[in-house]
Amino acid sequence: MRRAPEPSWPTPVRQAAALEPGADWKAALQDIDVVVHAAARVHVMSDKSADPLAEFRKVNVEGTAHLARQAAAGGVRRFVFLSSVKVNGEMTMPGRPFSAADVPAPQDPYGVSKLEAEQVLMQIGKETGMEIVVVRPPLVYGPGVKANFRNMMHWLRKGLPLPLGGIDNWRSFVALDNLVDLIITCIDHPAAAGHVFLVSDDEDLSTPELLRRIGAALGRPARLLPVPASLLIVGAALLGKPGIAQRLCSSLQLDISDTKEILGWRPPVTVNIALQETAISFLNT
């Protein structure tokens, strides 16, 4: 399978401005042909802002638009934007994975801000002729992964029994290597311009199966108790953590057939290899 080529940087890395309205990107954009924009105010689990949507918009919408307009004015040919599958929504029904053609249905301020950023970028593209490419990933994992994915590895390494064996769901994930490979493809593929691409490892897993495979990669068997998902949801709600149960118990699948067809792309790294690399990094920290 094709692996992502090692990038060759023709010039030293330049110091960038903050991603906010009013930032001056001219020096960083000089002689640049393609911008890959992956910076953002990321999803916040317990946002304490008085107006979370306004905070997300300031960075993810206004800051992105400001950068894109300066990029277009500076002669940048293509702008590749790393968005999020949260633009599509939070969960999928059985047999109905998200596709790039679906009507967006973001459910939180982060997802709303990412959708609005996509929309403003497409408008800037129409006005200036700069090519826009949007990539919407699900949960990204790999060496150095944090948050809930890292927590699961901690639980498994300690051999803790987990009440997650009764969950019946399907979720899409994407290994960092696979995401980077798609982004590299989008940099210069002639058919990428103007498209929104969903990306995944192209192998969906249930929560119990994911835990079993992570456990195998860590050399620790997953000890899963068959607790009904309904009880987990009720228990998480009583503890004030309904979002955690939703992510563990619900389905979220992506249909990447358009991505594969339009770009002739396939994920170069298998789930098992990516999980092994993730586990090795975790065990060495």
- The residues that are catalytic are 110
User: Which residue, 140, 141, 145, 132, is CA-closest to 197?
Assistant: 132
How many whole angstroms from its chain centre is CA 179? 8
Residues 49, 51, 54, 56: is their CA dihedral positive or negative?
Answer: positive
Question: Which single residue is written with the structure tokens 């990412």?
Answer: 114
Compute the distance between CA of residue 4 and CA of residue 63 in angstroms, rounded to an integer.
29
Tokens of 217: 């990669």
CB 184 within 8 A of CB 4: yes
- Reduced to 3 states (helix: H, G, I; strand: E, B; else coil), residue 154 is helix
**Do the Cβ atoms of 237 and 160 come closer than 8 Å?**
no
Phi/psi-derived region of residue 143, left when phi > 0, alpha when psi is between -120 and 50, beta in every other case:
beta
Cα distance between residue 125 and residue 178, in whole Å? 26
Q: List Cα–Cα distances, 285 to 6, 144, 149, 210, 219, in angstroms.
A: 25, 9, 15, 21, 16
**Paired tokens of 177:** 């290597």
